[in-house]
Structure 1
């Protein structure tokens, strides 16, 4: 019995190694600065982080860029092995395994200067137009307001467009991580004084690499990726990578 167990363990490990010997097929989306973006150095902060973690685990990878919704669906269908960065939702957890957090994001409300929008004043939000990119999952409290018909959602392809739509008075506010929102506003080319950020974060969420549960080596991929990510953190490279990218994003605006 012991010999049979050892043989099964050996075959299992051999199978894992052979599957992961091929480059891991990654996909992410554009216009998510400073986290991901075709025009960003090495594809953005979290693109660099994901590939560095895989390298620490000796896993080669390829990367494709797709519209967010398409990349998500193609990963679920098996055309890609993994996608990133995604927040946890109950619906996604039914079909995906999540890595350890890549980054903890704090989400704020961004509106035009002089237009105070705070989550603790829900009545004032009645009928407002929320700009939230296609494929993004709103924070639970905002989703409830949408479901109740208190907010109207407009879903362009990226956050940069939300900043422009605020300036055009086409939408009233958008919600994003502080760094994402400020980068989008800077890229609009107008002074930041023309915008307002809410006084407090309305939500805190973690961003992850996700692998379909239907993938034959999903658990192995997640385990090895987490191992590489832990090594990045332990070495200090994780923090240095984040600080370098965030500093670059603060000075890159026109």
Structure 2
């Protein structure tokens, strides 16, 4: 009861006093989650803006390279950015929303080259493609830090899929939907690639607001309220299903 009263009071106070739209920023080439060429800017772009609308919060959206958008949000040029996984460093600097999406990360390699999560030796000495600004799972980061795995960091996952096809890199790691979308966009049959049988880890994607923002807690509370309403209405699930269908029917 007390929690509901707090949310109500925050909702009453908060962004009504804010004259300008809530300033959002995200990055490109993260299909199906975000992308300037995708319908509605991508699945999670639509979810974020719809959740804000549920709380009667107007928003504007800019597109920036991932690292630049993140840093500009941290210094106050934007109010919030998305979608980001939790890391200890980020949690020191940002407040997190409730999860926008639960992602299961898999290893993607060429067909015939078996690289599995529970077979660390199969990764050693290989070339990992992992986009700039992305945070690898802990076990992978440790292999990179120990010099047992070579990381190559292009701008986006589509480039990783292309480099995998060319034999320039050996594998990449991503959420199943992200990885399969990137592979389809190469124009090659999906049978030319392999996805690991099990997930390397599960992670949640979030909207984040700098702790230094004077209304950070209020923004997160109102956003979470809107997201909960979106889920309760069934609109959240319908958005995910619609974007998945569009991805399956898309041709390069």
- What range describes the TM-score normalised by the shorter chain of this pair? over 0.9
| Aligned twin of 2:210 | 212
Change (3 A) 1:233 1:150: same
Q: How does 1:1-254 map to 2 (within 5 A)?
A: 14=13, 16-19=15-18, 21-254=19-252
Change (3 A) 1:12 1:106: closer
Looking at CA atoms only, which structure, 1 or 2, has the larger radius of gyration? 1
User: How far, CA to CA, are the matches of 2:148 and 2:49 in structure 1?
Assistant: 41
Q: CA deviation at 1:15?
A: 6.1
Q: C-alpha displacement at 1:114, in angstroms? A: 0.6
CA contact (8 A) 2:107 2:172 kept: yes
Structure 1 unaligned blocks of 5 or more: 1-9
Structure 1 runs of 4+ aligned residues shifted over 6 Å read none
Report how many aligned residue pairs link the two structures: 244
| SS of residue paired to 2:144 | helix
Question: In the superposition, relative to structure 1, how do residues 226 and 188 fare at CA in structure 2: closer, same or farther (>3 Å)?
Answer: same
Native 8 Å contact 1:183 1:253 kept in 2: no
Q: Measure the CA separation in 1 of the matches of 2:118 and 2:14.
A: 53
Name the CA distance, whole Å, in 2 between partners of 1:93 and 1:59: 24
Distance 2:196 2:228 in 1: 34
**SS of residue paired to 1:171:** coil
Alpha-carbon offset, residue 150 of structure 1: 1.0
2:100, 2:206 within 8 Å by CA — same for their partners in 1?
A: yes
CA deviation vs aligned residue, 1:147-190 (integer Å, no higher than 9, x gap):
11111100000000000001111100000000100000000011
User: What SS does the corresponding residue of 2:182 show, helix, strand or coil?
Assistant: helix
TM-score scaled by structure 1? Answer: 0.93
Matching residue of 1:3: none
SS at match of 1:35: coil
**TM superposition shift of 1:22:** 2.1
Q: Which moved more, 1:217-226 or 1:143-152?
A: 143-152
Determine if contact 1:87/1:208 at 8 Å carries over to the other structure: yes
User: TM-score, structure 2 length as denominator?
Assistant: 0.94
Residue by residue, what CA displacement relative to the aligned partner does 1:13-60 show, whole Å, maximum 9, x if unpaired? 6565313x4200000000000000000001000000000000000000
